[in-house]
């Protein structure tokens, strides 16, 4: 994932989850979730009501999951072993990557 056209998506603080939700599905994009942690992480899409919808896990130690999504669709990433929310990620118009350490 060193392609310079694939930008790094920065997390927003977990406290902002309550106000986050999907808005529309008219601008497709792609996100690569790269998990460099030792433990697996769980991916949750925030739907149009701001509710979590499970999209599975990404194993640790460098595993990657490619996700087709939309610009206004936020994603919550949670550590499987601790249930800690690692961040909320908002994709942009360009293909992005989320790198977890």
Q: What is the pLDDT of residues 45-101, one digit of tens each?
A: 999 999 999 999 999 999 999 999 999 999 999 999 999 999 999 999 999 999 999
Per the listing, tokens 């909320």 go with 88
What residue spans define the domains of the chain? Answer: 7-100
The CATH superfamily assigned to 7-100 is von Hippel-Lindau disease tumour suppressor,  beta domain (2.60.40.780)
* pLDDT for residue 4: 62
Letter string b/e over residues 79-95, b meaning 16 or more CB atoms within 10 A of that residue's CB: bbeeeebbbbbbbeeeb
Task: Tell me the per-residue pLDDT of 37-47, one tens digit each, with 9 for 90 and over.
Answer: 999 999 999 99
- What is the reported pLDDT for 16? 95
What is the arithmetic mean of pLDDT over 20-25?
98
Residue 2 has pLDDT above 80, yes or no: no
């Amino acid at each position: 994932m060193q392609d310079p056209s694939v930008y790094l998506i920065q997390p927003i603080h977990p406290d902002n989850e309550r106000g986050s939700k999907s808005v529309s599905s008219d601008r497709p994009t792609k996100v690569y979730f790269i998990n460099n942690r030792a433990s697996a992480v769980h991916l949750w899409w925030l739907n149009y009501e701001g509710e979590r919808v499970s999209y599975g896990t990404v194993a640790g130690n460098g595993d990657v999951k490619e996700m087709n999504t939309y610009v206004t669709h936020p994603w919550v990433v949670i550590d499987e072993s601790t249930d800690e929310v690692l961040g909320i990620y908002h994709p942009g118009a360009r293909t992005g990557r989320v790198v977890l350490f």
